[in-house]
Amino acid sequence: MPAAVAAGRLLRDRSFVTAPSPAKASAPERRAEFRLDLALTTRAARDVLGLLGGPAAARDGNGESAVTGEGRGLSEAEAREQAASVLASWLEPRSVFDVYLRNGGVSHDTDQVVELRLASDSQHVPNAGLIERLAGKSLLLVGAEKPDRHTGDSQFLLFNVRAIPEVWAQKDGLSLPGRASFSVGGFAGGDDGGFPVRMLAAVARLPEARVQREGVQRRLADWHRFLGIVERTAKARQFTVTYQAFRRGPSTSLLTFALDTGREPPWDKLRNALDEPLEARERRGLARGSGSAPPDEE
């Protein structure tokens, strides 16, 4: 046997029996870590207290009802105070959460608005605990960084707080991952709080979240228009013909009708309805064809 042929066979045999090399494990995703001191507007406070109407959302860290009601009848200061207490029980200062950041646009004060979603696709224990506490939902925090009026420290001023489905709190192409810890009411202090400058700049470069929402709404509107056309087309093809009697033929799919002579049938629609499904409804007491077996009752 020629040496070249033998070497070729040996090479093929080796390539067949050699086990494939194991795939390299992907490196874990790097997440920038930061700490936010949360402050609430009255609107955000009402949002938090409104969440207490849900089954598990009304429980604090000890499983007890955090406050009663939904904040109705409270002054603005009382609502903010109670909401801060509830939010602090959900986002314990010692816990670190996996989060996704979205570009919320620019506020009227030209501040960068950030949509912060507590990640639902994370195996991190604090995230799982929050979702369990919120009855299977995650938390959406919408706000902007502002300096504290008294201390000058950075704080994340919340405009809206929402409980959102888990699927809305997963990573997508419009979000930036991060890892955050929270304090409420100035407990963090110091100058090291707030979003990292480079992260905030990266968020500002992302497409605005409203662009995605508007795109979904446009597609839904197109779909509803299509459904309307289909429904109108189906209704335009429907018609009713009054008959006096009918009898079944040798085949179960063959029916012979004696039409009501007092009404002119829509012959054009009848001709276009060949091989279309037919629904025959019989009224009791109608005359039956003479000299023929009575039609089957329906």
Give the model's pLDDT for residue 294.
45
pLDDT at 205 over 70: yes
| Cα–Cα distances in angstroms (integers) from residue 137 to residues 45, 119, 127, 205, 279, in the given order | 19, 10, 11, 28, 47
Query: CB under 8 Å to 275, separation ≥6 — which residues?
Result: none
**Which two tokens mark 183?**
């304090």
Query: What tens digit of pLDDT does each residue of 40-82 get?
Result: 999 999 999 999 864 333 344 444 444 444 556 778 888 999 9
List pLDDT tens digits, range 141-175.
Answer: 999 998 888 777 889 999 999 999 999 899 888 89
Given this model, what pLDDT does residue 280 score? 66
- For residue range 1-15, list pLDDT tens digits in order: 444 444 444 344 443
Cα angle 143, 128, 81; round to 5: 40
> For residue 36, is pLDDT > 60?
yes
pLDDT for residue 114 is more than 90: yes
Q: In which band, very low, low, confident or very high, does the pLDDT at 123 lie, cut at 50, 70 and 90?
A: confident
Mean pLDDT of 211-240: 83
pLDDT computed for residue 75 by the predictor: 86
Q: At what angle do helices 42-50 and 76-90 cross, to 10 degrees?
A: 60
- pLDDT for 274 equals 72
pTM equals 0.59
| C-alpha pair distances (Å), 18 with each of 10, 22, 23 | 12, 12, 15
